[in-house]
Amino acid sequence: MVRQSRIKKEEAKIKKTRLNFQLKKAELFEMEITLDDAIEEFNDRFETGRESKIVEPTAAEEVESQEMIESEEEEEYVPPPEEEITPEEPDSDEVFGKDRDLKELFKKIALKTHPDKLRDLDEDEREYRISLYKEAANAVKKGDGATLLEIAYELSVVFNIDANKEVKWLNKKVKELEHKMMEIKQTAEWIWYHSDGLNKNIVEKMVTDQLGFKFKSNSDGTSCE
């Protein structure tokens, strides 16, 4: 009875940590979208030297691009070169160290992402899974179990890892996500975008004084200030 209670506690702990990870991941994604908006408006307000306009392709470039796409569609799919890491290659202690969980988790991911397993998928899905495969292989080299877990969740891979280890890996990833969010919040664009009233005036003065950015001019030549 005690053992069953301990197992349930571990399962609850893992679920809670997974949900926290997914929440932080969603928060970062939302912040990145907001930051894009902030940067666009910031660049409309200040002369930053950064190009914010989308350059439309010329008619000739569009034709050339379409011809390239049609040419690629006609070509038969060729798997990546042999030098790419395969599920069998990262099998030494130099790569996996003494952590066999990394090896087993990578193998399960490779079953769903290795180029040789994807011949029946459409091109978009094949490219997506190959990108996950490369990301997983790179994570293995770095001993990054958290990224492997993230990919495993994405692919609905069933695995069995010690609960404490999974929680440890996930918490490490959560800290990385929180660090990225903190960096976003410290950008001038983010601070300016989320300020208003008198506070915005103060922020704009700091932007012009400390960063040296100037206000953009209106169409009549007057300053936006």
| Both structure tokens of 34 | 């907001």
How far apart (Å, rounded) are the C-alpha atoms in residues 22 and 172? 13
Over residues 66-124, the pLDDT tens digits come to 555 455 444 444 444 444 444 445 554 555 556 788 888 999 999 999 888 888 888 89
> What is the total count of domains within the chain?
1
Domain range spanning residue 224? 195-225
Give pLDDT tens digits for 53-72.
Answer: 434 445 555 555 555 545 54
> Is residue 90 domain-resident?
no
**Within-domain flag for 199:** yes
Contact 99, 145 (CB under 8 A): yes
Q: What are residue 217's DSSP bridge partners?
A: 223
Q: Which two tokens stand for residue 159?
A: 């695995």
DSSP 132-172: HHHHHHHHHHHT-HHHHHHHHHHHT------HHHHHHHHHH
Whole-prediction pTM: 0.67
The per-residue pLDDT for range 136-182, each reduced to its tens digit, is 999 888 888 889 998 998 999 988 888 888 899 899 889 999 999 99
Q: Is the residue at 216 inside a domain? A: yes
Task: Identify whether 213 is part of a domain.
Answer: yes
